[in-house]
Amino acid sequence: HENTNIVYLSAKRDSIFEIEKWETKNFLDWKIEAITKNSNKDNVRPVAVKNAKEGNPIQLLWMQNNKYIHYTNYFSTIKMNKLEDK
């Protein structure tokens, strides 16, 4: 995406990292939308799809950790959000 008013991040919620979308109009007040919630595995390192236009069904990719001990010792899967057809 190309909108600098939207930030995707991974935040620790209870004991698990979840992916969130933070959106602002003035950089003071933020609207927070959970992309993942109630997960049993950490969701980390979100990446917005470059040049994805509004309405593109895929806007975001991230890693879901099945095992993470060290950056050289891990097992992760790549996840994506897919917007529903309207």
Quote the DSSP letter at residue 41.
S
Number of Cβ atoms within 10 Å of the Cβ of 23: 13
Domain locations in the chain? Answer: 6-82
What per-residue confidence (pLDDT) applies to 82?
A: 79
For 10-28, the pLDDT digits (tens) are: 999 999 999 999 999 999 9
Average pLDDT over residues 57-72: 92
What per-residue confidence (pLDDT) applies to 1?
A: 67
Task: Report whether pLDDT(84) > 80.
Answer: no
Quote the DSSP letter at residue 40.
S
Please state whether 45 falls in left (phi above 0), alpha (psi between -120 and 50) or beta: left
Please state whether 61 falls in left (phi above 0), alpha (psi between -120 and 50) or beta: beta
